[in-house]
Amino acid sequence: MAALIRMIAQRLALGVLTLFIVSVVIFFATELLPGDLASTLLGQAATPETVAALRRQLGLDLPAPVRYWNWLTGALQGDFGVSLANRRPIADLIAARLGNTIFLALYAAALAVPLALILGILAALWRNSVFDRAANAGALTAISFPEFFVAYILVLWLAQSGYFPSMVRISPVSTFGEKLYMAFLPALTLTLVVTAHMMRMTRAAIINLMAQPYIEMARLKGMSPLRIVLRHALPNALAPIINVIAINLAYLITGVVVVEVVFVYPGLGQLMVDSVSKRDIAVVQAIALIFASAYVLLNLTADVLSTLTNPRLMSKG
C-alpha cells in the first residue's frame, strides 16, 4: 500500500513539474517575437508615445519573470487578463465555451470508447477474417481522412436529408436532449476519427496477448474463443487499452478545433482559431494553457491507472 501511495505521489509530482514546464514554454514563446509586442500590435499607429502607453498597460515594462509570475498566479485563480483584441476579460470569453467543448469531447468519447473496444475485440477474435480485413481497411482509411472531409461527408449525407442540423446553435437555455441532438454530427465526426485509432490499437494489444502460453492453455482446455478473450486476454490487456483510450481522448482535444469550426460550434476551439487570425496572443496563450493542461492530466491519469492494473510496472517506475 505504501508503495502504491509513493507511486501515485511520484507521478503527481512529475505531472505538476510537466505542467510548470508547459506553462513556461507557452508564456515565453511570445518572447521569441522579433521586436516588441506593443509595436507589433499597434502596427501603423506605432509612435513612441502610444508604444510606451501600451507597454505600460500590458505590463510589458516589467521584467519577464515578474510578468510570468503574475500571469501564472492569475491563471491559477481563473484570471487570464484581458483580450488584446476587444479588451474583454478572457475569463468571461472562455467560461461559456469551456463547458460546451467539454460536453462535445465527452459526448464523442461516450460514443467512441465502447464502439472501438467492441470492434477491436471482434477484429482480434475473428483475426484475418473478412470482418477483420474490412474493419482494418476502414480504420486505415478513416485515419487518412482530414477531419473536415469526414465532417462534410456527414453534412452532405445526414444534414442534407434534414435528419440533423449542420450548424450547432446551443444557447444556455437548451435542454440536455436538445444539446445531444444538435451536437450529434460534430460528435459523430470525432467518433469516426478517434474510433479508427482506438480500434487498431485494441486489436493489436489483444492479438499480442493471444500468443501467451496461458491463452494456449485456456484454448487446450477447450474454452470458447469469446470466453478466452473476455476472461483471460481482456483483463491483461487493460493497461495498454487504458493508454490507448487516454491517447485518443487527448487527441480529441485537438480534434475539436477543426470540427468546431466546421459546425460553427460555440466552443474553445473556435475561439482559439478566431484569436489566432486576429493575433490575439493573450487569448491564444490562455486557451493553449487549458488544452495543454488537459492533455498532460489525461496522460497522467492513464499512467496511474495502467500502473494500478499491472503491479509489475510499479517497480519499474
Partner 1 sequence: MGWLFLAFGIVAAFGLAALLRRAALQLAPAEWRSALADMPLTAAFGLMVIAIYIFVALAAPLLAPFPEREVVGSQFQPWSLQHWLGTDRLGRDMASRLIYGARNTVGIAFATTALAFIVGSLLGLWAALRGGWLDQTLSRFVDALMAIPSLIFSLLLLTIFGTSVLTLILVIAAVDATRVYRIARSVAQGIVVMDYIEAARLRGEGSWYLIRREILPNALAPLVAEFGLRFCFVFLTISSLSFLGLGIQPPLADWGSMVRENATLITFGDITPLLPAGAIALLTVAVNFVVDWQLYRASGLKEQAG
Dihedral sign, Cα of residue 134, residue 135, residue 136, residue 137: positive
Query: How far is residue 261's CA from residue 245's CA, in Å, rounded to a whole number?
Result: 24
One residue of 123, 291, 302, 307 binding partner 1 per CB under 8 A:
291
Residue whose cell numbers read 488537459: 294
CA distances to 7, 34, 124, 208 from 213, rounded to whole Å, are 30, 61, 17, 12
Smallest separation, CB 81 to partner 1 (Å): 15
Residue whose C-alpha is closest to residue 275's, from 294, 262, 261, 263? 261
Binding footprint of partner 1, residue count (CB under 8 A): 49
Binders of partner 1 among 162-201, rule CB under 8 A?
Answer: 166
Question: Which one, of 104, 141, 142, lies nearest residue 263 by Cα?
Answer: 104
Element of type H or E holding 110: helix 90-125
109 binds partner 1 (CB under 8 A): no
CB of 305 to partner 1, least distance (A): 19
Q: Which stretch binds partner 1 (CB under 8 A): 46-54, 103-111, 146-154, 197-205?
A: 146-154
CA 145, 242, 254 angle in degrees (round to 5)? Answer: 40
The reply on whether position 281 binds partner 1 by CB under 8 A is: yes
Q: What one-character DSSP code corresponds to residue 82?
A: B
- Asked if 147 touches partner 1 (CB under 8 A), the answer is yes
Residue 159 near partner 1 by CB under 8 A: yes
Of 67-75, 135-143, 205-213, 225-233: span binding partner 1 (CB under 8 A): 135-143
Calculate the CA 247 to chain-centre distance.
8
Q: State which of residues 108, 190, 244, 261 lies at the interface with partner 1 (CB under 8 A).
A: 261
Residue with Cβ nearer partner 1 (13 or 230): 13
CB of 161 to partner 1, least distance (A): 10
| 26 touches partner 1 by CB under 8 A | yes
Backbone angles phi, psi at 153, to 5 degrees: -60, -45
Give the span between the Cα atoms of 77 and 294, in whole angstroms. 17
- 3 state SS of 215: helix
Task: Report the nearest approach of partner 1 to the CB of residue 281 (Å).
Answer: 6
Q: Select 157 or 227, whichever has its Cβ closest to partner 1.
A: 157
Decide: is 32 part of the binding site for partner 1 (CB under 8 A): yes
Residues that bind partner 1 (CB under 8 A): 18, 21-22, 25-26, 29-30, 32-33, 137, 140-141, 143-149, 152-153, 155-156, 159-160, 166, 250, 253-254, 257-258, 261-262, 272-273, 275-277, 279-281, 284-285, 287-288, 291-292, 295-296
